[in-house]
Structure 1
Amino acid sequence: MSELTITAFVRVSGPPNSNFLVGYPGISATLPRIEGKVEIRPAGGVSAPVGISYVCIGLYRRESIHPHADKVLSNHLAAPRKDIRDLVGQEMRLFQCSPGKPYESVLAMDLPFVLFIPFARAGDDIVKVPPASLQLPSRVAETYYELVVSVQQGHAELKKYPFPVPLCRYDTLSTFGMYNRPESQERVSDHVVTLGTSLSRWSFGPGDPVEIFVRLTPNPDWMSKARKVSISRIVATIEEQITYNPEGDEPTTKVNKLIQKKEVVGQKLPDKGYMTTINLQFPAKELHDSDGFLMRGKPGFPLHAIAGFTTTATLYKIEYFVSVKAHLSSCKDIQVRQKIIISPFDHQTCMDEMEAIELAARDAYHINIENPMLPAVTIIRPNDPNALHCLGMTMVGNKRKLLIE
């Protein structure tokens, strides 16, 4: 039987007791990367050699949007799903047979690899950090990553073997100092009343409390008009804004109201102003089933207690806002819309990750990107001593038998 008639069995394995993904994407100090090895064995014939000419690996991102997938359109056809597929970083060549030979006969190959995920250093605006894996309900927007191993067997058609890789981003953790400073905004109505909102921090995760400080103040130069103003109610809303084709010719924006709270006031605006604090809780989805078991996640997508989070991809962009509207009489209503960051992780999870991020940064300090010092390649050829041992076989007389240690 020819080596080329035996199809290669290909799989990718990560480091021992670890995931493919090493480091924290979005945090450059941890040198985020994918480590592992490509394992090639005979798919049939148990111990028949395989002819391998060329092996390479690359990380690919697939993005798709379908803005109308969550609607029932009876009168006309919905716009088709739009998608793109990009190589992230560079492909890595793992093996090429000697010049002049069509292929190399092997019984087993273990080819270590490391693929660095692009990251932006301070002041670097050229490098685009890949967005996190995400699948919104009804697949209106999706980002999916896969490791693709390309294997050439002689003159046969190049075969590609995809393996899904969930990718998270860690640069929006609510424990980072830049998100833990107060943020305020103000709007004025008819030069008579000013609505101001303030947040003590502006990064949140699933289930995190969102405390909004609200203040309505009269204009001291227009007190005669301001005394006629009554406050009917104050409505606070957390909004999710999805922009499809943000850099395209016709961007489309869709706003979803995630949670809303109304506070009925029903009083005149005091001379010293009116202050209140509105507390919301960012919505979280239940990850356990009715029996209390953790539900199985989809391959290629991390299991988060949240449907969407702040992210910017090529085909879509997701942003979040805290909107506060004051309903007034004898004066126009005022609305303030303040941008917030939504992380896939709640505040406690963010705190728990901080020590691990520091350790990952220390480990990455000693790594040379140009020469990451990979383990040696392992190639077992049919004529090597004890070659069949790697497949769990051995020769007893003239017969192949299972190897029993």
Structure 2
Amino acid sequence: MTDRVQASVRVSGPPNSSFLVGYPGISATLPRIEGKVEIRPSTGYSAPVAISLVRICLQRRETIHPAAENVAKRHLGTPRRDTTDVVGKELLLYRCTTGKEAESVMAMDLPFVLFIPYGRSGEETNRRIPPASLQLPSRTAETFYELVVTVQQGQSIQNKYAFPVPLQRYDTLSTFGMYNRPEHKVATSDNIVSLGISLPRWSYGPMDPITVYIKLAPNLDWMSKARKVSIKSITLAIEEEITYNPEGDEPSKKINRLQKHTKPIGMKLPEQGYVTNMGIIFPHKDLRDSNGIIRRGQPAFPNYGVTSFTTKSTLYKIEFFLSIKAQLTAARDITLRQPIVICPLDHQACKEEMDAIEQAAKDASSVDANNPMIPARNIILADAPNALAALGFCLVGGQKKPLIE
């Protein structure tokens, strides 16, 4: 009859810390999920549970619904699309002895370590670094992760238990050297005037200032035309570009203008060119309500200070651009788009994270990914002496009583 008793399953992380150890996106920290699966009887106090097999995996679920922002389109447009993938490998934590259908168990603690892929090499999905958890407004796109425990109880019963795990990515931090090299770009529309920009760094977070060095220069071979040119204004804007279904047959793009600053100039273009600096602040999302209290977030999604950030997954891709437009007279307007990276953390938070990342890399250097040291599992079978003690009971005169030690 033991196979009729359903198991109560939970997953707990290491003491005083989260499931996630290391920093996804930074391979030196060996990002991984550590914890243990705890199985107990769910009905009655002490009826043993039949367990044949226990497996665990990290599962990524992704959905897109580009029409969700518009009430009319939500009903008439394309339906929600979704995809589910296993991240890395599924682990077998327990299998009962050969020849037995199931083992009668009082209590079971099964420690595990699930490594999160950290190599970009190979086109197979299970080798790619998983994208960060994210939910866009109106759920137009979302990515979330769950630890899924599969428990087989005899031949007839198989149950799956899902536990949300928020996952962040740390390879876009603005403190990394690769983002602090200046970027230069030049554009022209009719060869009379060229627009050149220089960007001192190109990764930013919420409330980070973005400064652009701008130069409008006449074409020296066309000076007779260039002398007639006047500069009306220069506009600097931040654009978010979301591509839905980027790897499919019919990708669709949506561009949102997040911030805009226009500088009126109203002067003739000097022969030596016109040089200026322009700045704009990347907008942040206020996590506090009207009473100044930070609301509790959803368990599957971290609380970000931005609405979205640079990310790429199977069903959608989010990119950001600085758009610089020079409005001219006697020459065509010139628009230049420069890609930038948006990180969920501001520059100060990125600085504060660097020491912890360094420490995590040191800790990871002693971990063998092929054979991680994990605690011994603890399995108490129903016929073990003092098996009831594992559930806090004992037998007194043939009756089960609470155990008082």
Counterpart CA distance in 2 for 1:366 and 1:374 is 13
Q: CA deviation at 1:232?
A: 0.6
Residue 76 of structure 2 aligns to a residue whose secondary structure is: coil
- 2:359 alignment partner in structure 1: 359
Question: Pairwise CA RMSD of aligned residues?
Answer: 1.4
Q: CA deviation at 1:278?
A: 1.2
Stretches of structure 1 lacking an aligned partner (at least 5 in a row): none
Instruction: Tell which deviates more after alignment, 183-192 or 42-51.
Output: 183-192
Q: How many residues align?
A: 403
Counterpart CA distance in 2 for 1:339 and 1:301 is 26
For residues 130-186 of structure 1, the C-alpha deviation after alignment (integer angstroms, 9 at most, x for no partner) is: 111110001111111101000011122311000011111100000000000110111
- 1:399 alignment partner in structure 2: 399
- 2:42 alignment partner in structure 1: 43
Counterpart CA distance in 2 for 1:124 and 1:354 is 28
Counterpart CA distance in 2 for 1:349 and 1:396 is 58
1:338 aligns with 2:343: no
Q: CA deviation at 1:226?
A: 1.2
- 1:26 alignment partner in structure 2: 25
**Which amino acid is the alignment partner of residue 303 of structure 1?**
N
Counterpart CA distance in 1 for 2:116 and 2:34 is 11
- 2:375 alignment partner in structure 1: 375
- 1:53 alignment partner in structure 2: 52
Q: CA deviation at 1:125?
A: 6.5
1:161-310 matched pairs, under 5 angstroms? 161-310=161-310
Q: CA deviation at 1:294?
A: 1.4
For the 8 Å contact 2:231–2:268, the answer to whether it is kept is yes
Counterpart CA distance in 2 for 1:51 and 1:75 is 46
Counterpart CA distance in 1 for 2:212 and 2:397 is 81
Residue 66 of structure 2 aligns to a residue whose secondary structure is: coil
For residues 317-339 of structure 1, the C-alpha deviation after alignment (integer angstroms, 9 at most, x for no partner) is: 10000000000000000001000
Q: CA deviation at 1:74?
A: 6.4
- 2:83 alignment partner in structure 1: 84
- 1:111 alignment partner in structure 2: 110
Q: CA deviation at 1:92?
A: 0.2
TM-score under structure 1 length normalisation: 0.97
- 1:154 alignment partner in structure 2: 154
Instruction: Tell which deviates more after alignment, 393-402 or 56-65.
Output: 393-402
Q: CA deviation at 1:386?
A: 2.5
Change (3 A) 1:75 1:199: closer
Q: CA deviation at 1:398?
A: 2.3
- 1:384 alignment partner in structure 2: 384
**Which amino acid is the alignment partner of residue 314 of structure 1?**
T
Counterpart CA distance in 2 for 1:383 and 1:125 is 50
Residue 283 of structure 2 aligns to a residue whose secondary structure is: coil
Counterpart CA distance in 1 for 2:233 and 2:25 is 41
1:69 aligns with 2:72: no
Change (3 A) 1:34 1:164: same
Stretches of structure 2 lacking an aligned partner (at least 5 in a row): none
For residues 190-212 of structure 1, the C-alpha deviation after alignment (integer angstroms, 9 at most, x for no partner) is: 21111011111000011111111
Counterpart CA distance in 1 for 2:74 and 2:177 is 51
Residue 35 of structure 1 aligns to a residue whose secondary structure is: strand
For residues 247-280 of structure 1, the C-alpha deviation after alignment (integer angstroms, 9 at most, x for no partner) is: 1111111100000011111111112211111111
Residue 300 of structure 2 aligns to a residue whose secondary structure is: coil
Change (3 A) 1:39 1:238: same
1:93-108 matched pairs, under 5 angstroms? 93-108=92-107
Change (3 A) 1:222 1:174: same
Percent of pairs with identical residues: 60
TM-score under structure 2 length normalisation: 0.97
